[in-house]
Structure 1
Amino acid sequence: MQNQAQASERFSPFLTLSREEWSRLRDSTPLLLSEDDLAQLHGLNERVSLEEVEEVYLPLSRLLNLYVAATQSLYEATHAFLGHQSRKVPYIIGIAGSVAVGKSTTARIIQALLSRWPNHPKVDLVTTDGFLYPNAELERRGLMQRKGFPESYDTRRLIRFLADIKSGKPRVEAPVYSHIEYDIVRGERIVVEQPDILILEGLNVLQTRMASSGRPMTIFVSDFFDFSIYVDAPEDLIRGWYVDRFLKLRETAFRDPKSYFRRYADLSDEEAVATALRIWEEINAKNLRENIAPTKSRADLILAKGAHHRVQEVHLRKI
Structure 2
Amino acid sequence: MNSQQFSPYITFERTQWADFRQMSDWSLTDVDLRELQGLNERLSMTEVADIYVPLSRLLHLHYTKAKELHQDTNRFLQLDTLTVPFIIGIAGSVAVGKSTTARIIEHLVSQWPGKPRVELVTTDGFLYSNEQLEELGLMKKKGFPESFDVSRLFRFLSELKSGEERVTAPLYSHMKYNVLQDEEQVLMRPDVVIVEGINVLQPPKLEKHQARTFVSDFFDVSMYIDAEEPMIEQWYKNRFNLLRKTSFQQPESYFQKFKDLTEDEARAVSDRIWKETNRVNLVENILPTRNRADLILQKGEGHKVERIHVRKL
Pairwise TM-score range, normalised by the shorter structure: over 0.9
Residues of 2 paired with 1:264 and 1:97: CA distance?
A: 26
Structure 1 residues without counterparts, runs of 5 or longer: none
Q: Quote how far apart the aligned CAs of 1:118 are.
A: 1.9
Aligned to 1:185: 180
SS in 2 for 1:219: coil
Question: Counterpart amino acid of 2:56?
Answer: S
Question: Counterpart amino acid of 2:312?
Answer: K
Q: Quote how far apart the aligned CAs of 1:120 are.
A: 4.8
Superposed CA RMSD: 1.2
Residues of 2 paired with 1:227 and 1:105: CA distance?
A: 18
Is contact 1:33–1:113 with CA below 8 Å preserved after alignment?
Answer: no
Of 37, 60, 63, 1:68 maps to: 63
Q: Quote how far apart the aligned CAs of 1:77 are.
A: 0.8
Of 35, 39, 47, 1:40 maps to: 35
- 1:284 maps to 2:288: no
Aligned to 1:205: 200
Q: Quote how far apart the aligned CAs of 1:209 are.
A: 2.5
Q: Quote how far apart the aligned CAs of 1:214 are.
A: 5.6
Residues of 1 paired with 2:237 and 2:203: CA distance?
A: 29
Is contact 1:210–1:217 with CA below 8 Å preserved after alignment?
Answer: no
Is contact 1:120–1:196 with CA below 8 Å preserved after alignment?
Answer: no
Residues of 2 paired with 1:244 and 1:210: CA distance?
A: 33
Question: Counterpart amino acid of 2:27?
Answer: L
Aligned to 1:29: 25
SS in 2 for 1:48: coil
Q: 1:310 to 1:266 in 2, by over 3 A?
A: same
Residues of 2 paired with 1:217 and 1:12: CA distance?
A: 30
Aligned to 2:218: 224
Moved more, 80-89 or 42-51: 80-89
Of 279, 293, 300, 2:287 maps to: 293
Q: 1:92 to 1:19 in 2, by over 3 A?
A: same
**TM-score (norm: length of structure 2):** 0.97
Is contact 2:24–2:54 with CA below 8 Å preserved after alignment?
Answer: no
Structure 2 residues without counterparts, runs of 5 or longer: none
Residues of 2 paired with 1:216 and 1:248: CA distance?
A: 44
Residues of 2 paired with 1:109 and 1:157: CA distance?
A: 27
Q: Quote how far apart the aligned CAs of 1:85 are.
A: 1.2
Q: Quote how far apart the aligned CAs of 1:216 are.
A: 4.6
Cα deviation code 1:127-150 (max 9, x no counterpart): 000000011111111100100000
Question: Counterpart amino acid of 1:228?
Answer: S
Aligned to 1:49: 44
Is contact 2:18–2:50 with CA below 8 Å preserved after alignment?
Answer: yes
Q: Which aligned pairs between 1:1-319 and structure 2 lie closer than 5 A?
A: 3=1, 6=2, 8-26=3-21, 27-34=23-30, 37-211=32-206, 213=207, 216-319=210-313
Cα deviation code 1:209-254 (max 9, x no counterpart): 213x465542111000000000000000000000000011001111
